[in-house]
Amino acid sequence: MAVPKRKKSKAKIRSRKASHKTKPVAVGVCPQCGAARRPHRACPGCGYYRERQVISVEAE
């Protein structure tokens, strides 16, 4: 089995792990009510998705 010849330096490991940072959460705007809404999800404010109501929201 192939085995690494040298131990990787801390800088090498840290520079690789620097690319493992998570992306910020994608947030869009609801075309129905203008509230912040995640893409491909029903709006938490008005319950609309693709121009029709798909979930009921108590306080509208």
Identify which of residues 4 and 43 has a Cβ nearer to Zn ion in the complex: 43
Output 8 or 38, the one with its CB closest to Zn ion: 38
Stretch that binds Zn ion, among 5-13, 18-26, 32-40, 52-60 (CB under 5 A): 32-40
42 binds Zn ion (CB under 5 A): no
Closest contact distance (angstroms) between CB of 23 and Zn ion is 24
Task: Please give the C-alpha separations between residue 55 and each of 7, 23, 24, 36, in angstroms, as whole numbers.
Answer: 55, 28, 26, 16
Residue 16 three-state SS? helix
What is the distance between the alpha carbons of residues 35 and 60, in angstroms, rounded to a whole number?
Answer: 12
Minimum distance, C-beta of residue 45 to Zn ion, in the bound complex (Å): 4
